[in-house]
A and B are shown apart, each in its own frame.
Chain A
Amino acid sequence: MAGEAMRNSAIRLLLIDDEKVFLDVLAKRLAMRGILPTKAYSGKEGIQLLRGHSFDAVVLDLKMVDMDGLEVLKILKIIDPDLPVIMLTGHGSEDATQDGMAAGAYDYLTKPYDLGLLVEKIRQAAAARGAVQR
């Protein structure tokens, strides 16, 4: 299975969320699950990180203070059109989710979510990215 094959080489994941406490603990937990997270505490920071580094997938919070998550998504897609982006949304923002999917997001999850499900989606996304790259 493709996912099984990817397990040994750590997935390089970009995490973008302005909720620092949340981002920190999520990064630690993902790290325990064979994912290599890079934290960005704002949209701008995430965009800068993507310019200098290569990632297998991105997890992006849709609601941030400095920049709208949707804007960030659009810029990410311009920089790297094949990059799979998983959106994290709060409840009651279905419109934004739809807009995100239309803008090319790979998938989305609603907070609070199940970590196992997130990891599964990250793996799927990375696998998809791998398939595209191959």
Chain B
Amino acid sequence: MKKPEPSSLPPHYLPLVRKMFLTIIIVSFVPVFLVSLTIYLQFRHSYREKVQEHLVELVRKHKQQIDAYLEARLADVRFLSESFGYAQLADQTFLQRQLMILQQTFGPTFVDLGVIHADGNQVSYAGPFSLGQAQYADAAWFRQAMENQTVISDVFLGLRGLPHFIVAIRRESEGRVWILRATIDFVAFNNLVEGIRIGTSGFAFIVNRAGEFQTTPHMALHAGEGCFGGFLTCAEDTTRKIYIAVRPDEAGIESIYVTGLLKDRSWLLVYKQHTTDAFRELRRAERISLLFFLLGGISIVIMALLLSRRMVDRIAAADREKESMSRQVIESGKLASLGELAAGVAHEINNPVAVMIEEAGWIEDLMADGHLDDEDQQAEIHRALKQINTQGKRCKEITRKLLSFARGSEGSHQKLDLNQVIGDVGNLVAQRAKYANIEIETRLSPQLPAVLGSETEMHQVLLNLVNNALYAMEKEGGQLTVSSVLQNGQIVISVGDTGPGIPRAIVDRIFDPFFTTKPVGQGTGLGLSICYGIVKKMGGEIEVVSEIGKGSTFRVRLPVEPPAAKSS
């Protein structure tokens, strides 16, 4: 068989294609979408938690490190003050040596050392600056030291004009109150914090309670940015005293802030990173997943399109096959009804043939008899020849009627004059009816509009109905009534008999294929089912009214050819 082209699909299959396509799309997309969404949300949540946890851990670790660093410096100074006492440390040379030892031990962390009286006057000083007689009575760190015993100051420029901070300890010994002070190199401290760098935008810095930077921020920042000032109120508390907040920064870029309090809650370590930067890997994974989802989606759409198209193609092919099979059934039914005719036709043909043979034999007899010049003999021969001619024409007429039934087996559609069809069938069965003592009455409505259909098939429908009617009356004789009438825009053809009628028990089954009441071998049981199929195909209806003992009437209703088609 020729493989049908997809483009050759009849248009009435397109809704089916659409429906299948949509079904496949919905059935495949909905679960994929839901599963993907669930996985994605779960993954995003886990990933965010992981990143935040990592940052919290980072800040916590550095917080500890910085606190430890500051504590260590304080401990160094405390050790110095406790080890040597005021008398020794007030000695500038001794102090200088101690500074040298500290610098040798810890590197350039300690910039200078100084011993200050309770009145704020510096007694001795070791360091690179000439701050010998400096007066610190008004310095904030000095006041704090006097008050709290120890102090780690904020970063400030002070007298020397360079950022630094002070670690100081107040002592009471040898009958006096004095303070040992060390300046911590800002650069060394700053490196501790500046070293925290992640991605392209992640960095850390420290601010004090006043919002002043205690380390140099890696990037331009406004000290009041975000919530440094009120960090305790705006950030989410984590269990380890580390706070997280996600909010837009000064430039309007959403950023993640991770903060932790330092130095007895007076400094705040802030880690800041743009959210997009922090979750860059997540974004990448999202993009890749989206790409796969799109590719998968496109292939699903293409597959759905191909699949639905192919399935409908198969359905269409099956339909075509079914149609051709039903056409074959109709054809074989035609053969069967022809077979029923055959007996009658044989008789009809054989009668004229017998006459012709006899007449020919008669001429032969006369010729054998001699006396060919006898006028009577001549006339007799002429009569016989004429009779042969007449009988030959009779045969020809019978074959013509048969041919008109068999013609156009393709079933081409044309405008049909149903009265003509009824007449053809009537001619065909006239002889049979005559022998069965059946009277045929036709009541045809004149000027019947045409119907659209195949002449062969219409012949077949009527011949089947008429044959059935004749069969029903063959034993007893009766009356066959065939009528045509226009009713509510439909042509109604009735074929009625006065036979025994159809029992109620089987009346519902008579249109079923292979249902027959005839003896085995005499009926195919296809006749009425074929009639039903043909009439349905023409958009019509077929029904039966039957009464036991009175007869049956089959009614075929066919739609009149629509006026638009009529004009064409």
Contact = CB atoms under 8 A, between A and B. Distances in A.
Interface stretch (B97-105, B339-347, B498-506): B339-347
Given A111-B354, A115-B358, A32 B343 contact: no
A92 B361 contact: no
Interface in A38-97: 63-65, 90-93
Given A63-B435, A65-B435, A92-B342, A25 B358 contact: yes
Contacts of B351: 19, 22, 90, 111
Interface in A6-36: 19, 21-22, 25-26, 28-29, 32
Contacts, number: 57
B358 A91 contact: no
A112 B357 CA distance: 7
Interface string B425-436: 000000000110
A32 B364 CA distance: 12
B147 interface: no
Contacts of B344: 92
A93 B343 contact: yes
Contacts of A93: 343, 347
B355 A22 contact: yes
Given A25-B359, A32-B369, A115-B358, 20 more contacts: A19-B355, A22-B355, A25-B362, A25-B384, A25-B387, A26-B358, A28-B362, A29-B361, A32-B365, A63-B435, A64-B435, A65-B435, A90-B347, A90-B350, A91-B346, A92-B347, A93-B347, A111-B351, A112-B350, A112-B354
Interface string A100-111: 000000000011
Contacts of A32: 365, 369
Range class of the B interface residue count: 20 to 34
Chain B contact residues: helix, strand, loop or mixed:
helix
B434 A113 contact: no
Residue of A19, A112, A115 with highest tally of chain B CB at under 10 A = A112
B434 A22 contact: no
B358 A29 contact: yes
9 contacts: A21-B355, A22-B351, A64-B435, A90-B346, A90-B351, A91-B346, A92-B346, A93-B343, A115-B361
A90 B344 CA distance: 9
A64 B434 CA distance: 9
Interface of A: 19, 21-22, 25-26, 28-29, 32, 63-65, 90-93, 110-113, 115
Nearest to B383: A25
Chain A interface, DSSP helix/strand/loop, else mixed: loop
Interface in B314-347: 342-344, 346-347
A91 B355 contact: no
B123 interface: no
A28 B391 CA distance: 18
Contacts of B354: 19, 22, 111-113
A73 to B, nearest CB: 16
Contact of B365 (A29, A63, A91, A111): A29
Interface in B216-258: none
B150 to A, nearest CB: 136
A13 to B, nearest CB: 15
A22 B359 CA distance: 8
B361 A91 contact: no
Interface in B360-391: 361-362, 365, 369, 384, 387, 391
B353 A29 contact: no
B372 to A, nearest CB: 16
Contacts of A111: 350-351, 353-354
A65 B347 CA distance: 13
Contacts of A64: 435
A63 B347 contact: yes
A68 to B, nearest CB: 8
Q: Choose among A25, A26, A93, A110 the residue with the greatest number of B CB atoms under 10 Å from its CB.
A: A25
